């Protein structure tokens, strides 16, 4: 028995932070950002992580033609959870009305969706779960210093979700490659939600913003994703010539192009939607998958490759034989409540919190 994706959906918050907006916040410009990242704007969440997760989940369930009572597993992949306990998956379960469904969170940073898909598909294939909801969701602006142009131009907020169900033999996940290297984990760190240190400690802006070593991350990402895809394809008995679509983590367009070029995959087969979303960490692949399906870029029986790298450092790739359905069974009208202010109002607290790092 295989495990296939039968539903998909995303949530892009209604507020956008454009490159023109960033020009008012930090010393940068549109050309500099687009040439180095491929990003033009990114979503900004005025509510909470679970609000985005709920919208994406409802779209995915509608696409699969199921309701909350049909679920028996919910997994939320995130590095920016709304709270620590109960898990965000449990909060989402209550929001959806999926009473009694197993639920837990997973943190593999930007590789979270790939790790999550490997987990839920294995459980479905083994008969442990029948219908699983997997959500990748991030509210990354919370840890961004909007005076640091090396990081704040990259990241956005959003959520993507899929439904995983049993499929026929030969369909679904064909191979998985997962890995990590904690020795180089210091290249991407933020401690905002951690318990390290004294209970009464003040929040130090220098310790609670994202630490990101861009050049090192670029090299790690290109090498890590390339080698991970090669291993996964080898395990599936396939080559890059057999690949129909690659849906990579949307970290940086230059990283995506470098990795897929090294693999020998034609650009026409690579799904890239970073321009309007930015890097949304664990949400980026399911958001890109949703766009790929809605744009008709995936056909029944296609060989689809997901690949990602992230903090930890983690990496992972999945080779999947797509099922028969590439169209939604139904649609949902779920959406976030409208914001009461603009994007500058939303980011005012961030700017104030990190201001001491930039005072002369």
The catalytic residues are 110, 249, 279
The candidate with the shortest Cα–Cα distance to 159, out of 236, 71, 223, 89, is 89
Length of the chain: 360
20, two tokens: 């023109």
User: What are phi and psi for residue 26, nearest 5 degrees?
Assistant: -150, 160
Q: Report the distance separating Cα 29 and Cα 18, nearest Å.
A: 10
Cβ neighbors of 114 (< 8 A, separation 6 or more) are 108, 178, 249, 285, 306, 307, 308, 316, 317, 318
Q: Are 23 and 301 in contact (CB under 8 A)?
A: no
Residue 57 φ then ψ, to 5°: -65, -40
Residue 170 tokens read as 């030969």
Dist CA 38 CA 272 (whole Å): 10
Tokens of 102: 């197993």
Give CA–CA dist 264/137, Å, rounded.
30
DSSP state letters, 316-342: EEEEEE--S--S-S------PPPPSS-
Spatial contact of 89 and 116, defined as CB atoms under 8 Å apart: no
229: exposed, middle or buried (Cβ count in 10 Å: 0-12, 13-18, 19+): buried
Q: How far apart are CA 293 and CA 325, in angstroms?
A: 10
In a 10 Å sphere around its CB, with 0-12 CB exposed, 13-18 middle and 19+ buried, how is residue 241 labelled?
exposed
Cα separation, 159 vs 55, in Å, equals 8
**CA atoms of 230 and 263, how far apart (whole Å):** 8
How far apart CA 157 and CA 140 sit, in angstroms, is 6
């Amino acid at each position: 028995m295989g495990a296939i994706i039968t539903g998909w959906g995303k949530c892009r918050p209604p507020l956008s932070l454009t490159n023109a907006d960033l020009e008012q916040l930090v010393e940068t410009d549109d050309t500099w950002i687009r040439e180095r990242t491929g990003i033009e704007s990114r979503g900004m969440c005025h509510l909470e992580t679970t609000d985005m997760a709920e919208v994406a989940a409802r779209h995915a369930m509608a696409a699969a033609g199921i309701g909350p009572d049909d679920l028996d597993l919910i997994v939320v992949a995130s590095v920016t959870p709304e709270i620590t306990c109960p898990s965000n998956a449990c909060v989402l379960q209550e929001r959806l009305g999926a009473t009694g469904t197993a639920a837990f969170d997973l943190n593999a940073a930007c590789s979270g969706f790939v790790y999550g898909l490997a987990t839920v598909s294995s459980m479905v294939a083994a008969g442990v779960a029948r219908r699983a909801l997997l959500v990748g969701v991030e509210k990354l602006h919370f840890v961004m210093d909007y005076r640091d142009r090396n990081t704040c131009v990259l990241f956005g907020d959003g959520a993507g979700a899929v439904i995983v169900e049993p499929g026929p033999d030969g369909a679904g996940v064909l191979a998985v490659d997962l890995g990590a290297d904690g020795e180089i984990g210091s290249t991407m760190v933020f401690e905002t939600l951690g318990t390290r240190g004294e209970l009464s400690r003040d929040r130090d802006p220098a310790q609670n913003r994202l630490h990101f070593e861009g050049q090192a991350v670029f090299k790690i990402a290109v090498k890590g994703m390339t080698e991970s895809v090669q291993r996964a394809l080898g395990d599936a008995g396939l080559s890059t010539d057999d690949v129909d679509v690659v849906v990579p983590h949307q970290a940086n367009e230059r990283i995506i192009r470098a990795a897929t070029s090294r693999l020998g995959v034609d650009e026409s087969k690579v799904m890239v939607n970073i321009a309007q979303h930015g890097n949304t960490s664990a949400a980026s692949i399911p958001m890109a998958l949703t766009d790929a399906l809605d744009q008709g870029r995936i056909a029944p029986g296609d060989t689809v490759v997901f690949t990602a790298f992230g903090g930890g450092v983690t990496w992972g790739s999945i080779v999947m034989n797509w099922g028969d359905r590439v169209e939604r069974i139904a649609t949902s009208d779920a959406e976030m409540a409208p914001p009461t202010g603009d994007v500058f109002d939303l980011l005012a607290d961030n700017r104030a919190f990190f201001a001491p790092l930039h005072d002369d």
